Structure 1
Amino acid sequence: RKFQEANHKVLFAAEGLIWPDKRLQDKYPSVRSGKRFLNSGGIMGYAPYVNKLVEQWNLHENDDDQLFYTKIYLDPQQRENLNMSLDHKSQIFQNLNGAIDEVLLKFGTERVRVRNTVYDTLPVIVHGNANTKMYLNYLGNYIPNSWNYERGCGVCDHNMVDLSQLKEYPTVMVGVFIEQPTPFLSQFFQRLVTLDYPKHKLNVFVHNNEVYHERHIQKFWEENKDVFNSFKVVGPEENLSQGEARNMGMGLCRKDPSCDYYFSMDADVMLTNRQTLRILIEQNRCVTVFLSQAILTGVLLYFCLRPFEKVCYRISVSGYITAEGYITAAGYITDLFSQGYAVMNFVVKYTPGRQAYLRPHHDSSTFTINVALNSKGTDFQGGGCRFHRYNCSLDSPRKGWSFMHPGRLTHLHEGLPTTNGTRYIAVSFIDP
């Protein structure tokens, strides 16, 4: 319907940035309102007219298609003959490059839409062009039916498997990594034994980087050597880096044709739910990443299905803090952890009549830390932070106190209005 209302035979997406040849800017028709420049990431038209367009392609396979279509569009004769135009106000196509600040999520009863706030339109197709792939990923965590206020997650239960219906449980390689002195290691191993999963289907690989813990591992092995299908330990004498050790654990699974899943965890994780492994497998996802209950320790568990795909990801699952990892074409994790750093640190001022609040947004960070610089009730009234996905609001903390939350993907949030006085907070983006 939107295309028909445009009353053109061919319609291209439009954007505010010209690419790839800025010298063509003056040749573009001027527009009174809307985006002026063509983007070939979105094209819609009647087949005979689109066919006339593509028939003109006489370039090489690696030549730039956007430049090809741009030159045709800039030819007044061709533009008239083919009745071409651009979707200037993002009625159909929304390009994100240069327009992220224009885009908000519009939550409806049944689905979530993207809204262009400049033109008050609801685009149908969102294009994460140039360096906006991460933001496209943010949007995909909600639209069109991934999550809304009424029903919560709309896709979490899709394509799940029921282990009770399988003739035989999958074989799992469990990688355990002791990379530093770890308290309660004995309790960790006992919880591993009590996992509600057939032990003859578990192969255990342990990398221990601490001489102090060799006696704990020896004691556990002597008591449980017949429990698991296999139990392999690589000790500190091998002098492996974390990356090498984690690659080794995943490699053991890769080389074993019977290995169906790889489950990796650091030893300072507290496995309080005996169903953890079953729950993860029944999710039937390619990669699942989450943090333990001790969320501030940076403990990461990840879970990979075979075959290992080439992927570079940052994943955040509802209710859990974002973690990151990198898998190369060979399928090995090469850089699982990095030391947190903060290069974006700033002070935000809230005051009525100027900036009293912040509209719903995601932060460009893995974690965000907010520190209160003055006191509610004395210096200002109102304020606070609301997390939409969890329908949770935090009051302004006392002066000098802070709170931390994931910045990307799951924690869409807004700064609540300061109704009187002036509120100051210090904000730090961790791993932007």
Structure 2
Amino acid sequence: MWETISVFLVCLLALFSTLNCNQQDSIPEGDLLVLTVATQETDGFKRFIRSLQHFNYSVKVLGRGEVWKGGDYMSPPGGGQKVRLLKFALDEITEDNKVILFVDSYDVIFSSGPKELLKKFQQTKHKVVFSAETLIWPDRHLEDKHPHVREGKRFLGAGGFIGYASNLKKMLSDWSGEDNDSDQLFYTKIFINPDKRRSINITLDNRCRLFQNLHGALDEVVLKFEDGRVRARNLLYDTLPVIIHGNGPTKLQMNYLGNYIPNVWTFETGCTTCNKDVRPLSELQENEHPGVVIGVFIQQPTPFVTVFFERLLNLKYPKKRLSLFIYNKEPHHEKQVGTFLEDHKSEYQAVKLVGPEEGIDPGTSRNIGFDMCRDDIHCEYFFSIDVEVVLKNEDTLKTLIELNKPFIAPMMTKPGRLWTNFWGALSADGYYARSEDYVDIVQGNRVGLWNVPYVYHIFLVKADVLRTDLKAPDLFESATLDPDMAFCANVRNKGIFMFVTNMHTFGRVLSVENYKTNHLHNDLWQIFENPLDWEERYIHKNYSKIMRDNLVETPCPDVYWFPVLNEVCCNHLVEEMENFGQWSGGGNVDQRIQGGYENVPTVDIHMNQVGFEKEWRKFLVDYIAPVTEKMFPGYHTTAQFDLAFVVRYKPDEQPSLRPHHDASTFTINMALNQVGIDYQGGGCRFLRYNCSVEAPRKGWALMHPGRLTHYHEGLPTTEGVRYIFVSFVDP
């Protein structure tokens, strides 16, 4: 029995010894060195370095300060310069067991740390591992020479590989090419040579466990949100690659992934990098603020231009650190531009105006604006803003500067829509496509800084960028693209990241497609196209208090008095009527109404004469009907009306109106100018109640029942001119 047990123990000991011999020691993280080539510190390079630092990789950058001669993904094969620099760097490494990871930098991010990378490298049981691709390039004739694989990607990708220094030295020993030769072809020919493949001990990362090349694999890769962590997942192979490479024409998807990886934005933490590398302005004296050229662009007839300039004036930034460039293509807006400059030009450091008489196209005008900044040694930023932008946040310029990005835009929306001034993705032909996260960003479910392929209407760009990468005069020119898209394409092609931020509410963009200019005050007609802006421009500041605080007075029984229109709206209505000028004669014969006879005539202009009926009915539905239903419980109105008109009272024309009942269920009577200033006398007397309203307030509405109870008269206007707006609402 003891003899049997002894034999068993000897066999068991031998088994454990065999297992121990086959077990490899883990490669120490200190043995890993990342090598990359970067002749310039682009936005992509900075992203690459941030991801390395996040996981504490050791890195050495090759080629700093050199002129890049190795081509790019838009040109014929290149990359030989990278091979030369790598070969030289390897010659300086004396430790043969040093593990070298060589990757591109401008379009690469890391999603995990050295420990996982080295573990997966060891598991391949090879000395050199290249990334793998679905597509073969640059020589498709070499396809048949590649070894077949049971599962995974078959072709070598030169953008990333890992291996022991001694093996890599052996692999590069035969390199004698030029800087513009193809590194991809060089490595491919080594790999498809069976003898070299065996002697160097090369394999491919066929299932994307270490490297994920995006070219040819966009449908395979998704974001994987873990607890407090984000990384990429390959759905086809169910793997979690350590290194993501946006090779070839996949830079946009790389930028999308880079908005999250590594842990840039998570559901648990939100944006983790938004407050890094910022440029605080709060402690600076006014004369220490960066110099900014603000470019204002008016390319088409646009509503509320006067309000735009008011908001521009209210930006919280030292005026003496601001210069203005204004491009106005539209003669229609010359008056507003001229008024603004006449009143405020002296407040700015410098002002340049390009008017419609100069015949300059919009694309050229923007480059002229850029030149104003390029040529000014004190200019550090160019702030471009189209006149259709509604800039509600007075701190917008400061906020963008403090975020300290080469190119950044505030997110702008259109109320009630998913439209914004940025695109989250592009279609194959370079037009709009919706990214997976677009709706969440627009609705504020994801808040941060987002690297996107297209922004317009408003952005801030650093002057240094305009003087270097974006110095070409044809930035807005393209044979196939609109100027805005051409500009963004040029920015992308220069490797400049365009960020949009939704960390604050900045404002919105007006709808301008249906703006007509055939009236004096065309903004009055914008209640359908831009209702929020119409309200801000024309509704009384205390209107909301009617519902909230019961701001309704009752000067007479069942007569309700409340604020509706502001001073600007009243003035615009009066000026619009006088500009139209076709006042009725105040006689009983009136061909404008059904039957041609008016029992109680006034000197007036009907809304159908000036094309304002639909707009006025919407006003009644949106702003009068809620008050009516509040004051007359149980009553509902659709605000239909046969008559809506502006009445003019003058002592020498028609000073008053005889007692009468209105032909309405209820009547709205609004004063459009100010008693004691514009006229004397006037008012309304309700005879049944012997009650008068003798000092009508400008913009306030009198609302009272019509046909049956409220017999009333218009009191005499004794001096000046009185205007009122009357609506007979039925029902």
Q: Which residue of 2 aligns with 1:237?
A: 357
Q: Which residue of 1 aligns with 2:460?
A: 303
Would you say how many aligned residue pairs link Structure 1 and Structure 2? Answer: 326
Q: Which residue of 1 aligns with 2:263?
A: 145
User: Which structure dedicates a bigger proportion of its chain to strand?
Assistant: 1
Q: Which residue of 1 aligns with 2:394?
A: 274
What pairs with 1:277-288 in structure 2 (closer than 5 Å)? Answer: 277-288=397-408
What pairs with 1:112-127 in structure 2 (closer than 5 Å)? Answer: 112-127=230-245
Contact 2:400 2:410 in 1 (8 A): no
How far the C-alpha of 1:74 sits from its partner, in A, is: 1.7
Query: Identity of counterpart residues, as a percentage?
Result: 46
Deviations, residues 27-66 of structure 1 (Å, cap 9, x unaligned): 2222211111111111100001101111111223222211
Paired AA for residue 12 in structure 1: F
What pairs with 1:25-44 in structure 2 (closer than 5 Å)? Answer: 25-44=143-162
Q: Answer yes or no: is 1:10 the counterpart of 2:128.
A: yes
Distance 1:2 1:155, change over 3 A: same
Structure 1 stretches of 4+ moved >4 Å: 295-299
Q: Answer yes or no: is 1:76 the counterpart of 2:175.
A: no
Distance 1:135 1:29, change over 3 A: same
Counterpart among 482, 485, 493 of residue 338 in structure 1:
482
Paired AA for residue 229 in structure 1: Q
1: CA distance between counterparts of 2:409 and 2:191?
46
Counterpart among 168, 172, 175 of residue 54 in structure 1:
172
1: CA distance between counterparts of 2:270 and 2:400?
19
1: CA distance between counterparts of 2:464 and 2:470?
13
Contact 1:288 1:303 in 2 (8 A): yes
With normalisation by structure 2, the TM-score equals 0.43
Q: Which residue of 2 aligns with 1:197?
A: 317
Q: Which residue of 2 aligns with 1:172?
A: 292
2: CA distance between counterparts of 1:244 and 1:265?
16
Task: Flag the structure with more relative contact order, 1 or 2, with Cα contacts below 8 A and sequence separation at least 6.
Answer: 1
Distance 1:332 1:282, change over 3 A: farther
Q: Which residue of 2 aligns with 1:211?
A: 331
With normalisation by structure 1, the TM-score equals 0.71
Q: Which residue of 2 aligns with 1:223?
A: 343
Paired AA for residue 335 in structure 2: R
Q: Which residue of 2 aligns with 1:156?
A: 274
How far the C-alpha of 1:331 sits from its partner, in A, is: 6.9
The structure with the largest alpha-carbon Rg is 2
Paired AA for residue 352 in structure 2: K
Deviations, residues 87-120 of structure 1 (Å, cap 9, x unaligned): 1111101111221111111112222111111111
User: Which structure dedicates a bigger proportion of its chain to helix?
Assistant: 2
Tell me how large the CA RMSD over aligned residues is.
Answer: 2.3
For the residue of structure 2 that corresponds to 1:31, the secondary structure is coil
Q: Which runs of 5+ in 1 are unaligned?
A: 312-326, 342-432
Distance 1:209 1:281, change over 3 A: same
1: CA distance between counterparts of 2:466 and 2:226?
35
Contact 2:476 2:483 in 1 (8 A): no
Deviations, residues 370-408 of structure 1 (Å, cap 9, x unaligned): xxxxxxxxxxxxxxxxxxxxxxxxxxxxxxxxxxxxxxx
Q: Which residue of 2 aligns with 1:255?
A: 375
For the residue of structure 2 that corresponds to 1:71, the secondary structure is helix
Counterpart among 83, 94, 118 of residue 212 in structure 2:
94
1: CA distance between counterparts of 2:420 and 2:212?
39
2: CA distance between counterparts of 1:333 and 1:24?
40
How far the C-alpha of 1:222 sits from its partner, in A, is: 2.0
Distance 1:177 1:18, change over 3 A: same
Paired AA for residue 201 in structure 1: R
2: CA distance between counterparts of 1:83 and 1:101?
31
Contact 2:128 2:200 in 1 (8 A): yes
Q: Which runs of 5+ in 2 are unaligned?
A: 1-118, 422-455, 486-731
Contact 1:15 1:39 in 2 (8 A): yes
Distance 1:331 1:8, change over 3 A: farther
2: CA distance between counterparts of 1:272 and 1:21?
56
Paired AA for residue 172 in structure 1: V
Deviations, residues 158-204 of structure 1 (Å, cap 9, x unaligned): 11111023351111101111111121111111111111111111111
Deviations, residues 195-228 of structure 1 (Å, cap 9, x unaligned): 1111111111111111121111221122213222
For the residue of structure 2 that corresponds to 1:165, the secondary structure is coil
For the residue of structure 1 that corresponds to 2:323, the secondary structure is strand
What pairs with 1:250-399 in structure 2 (closer than 5 Å)? Answer: 250-294=370-414, 296=419, 300-308=457-465, 328-330=470-472, 333-335=475-477, 338=482
Paired AA for residue 231 in structure 2: R
Distance 1:329 1:274, change over 3 A: closer
Distance 1:173 1:328, change over 3 A: closer
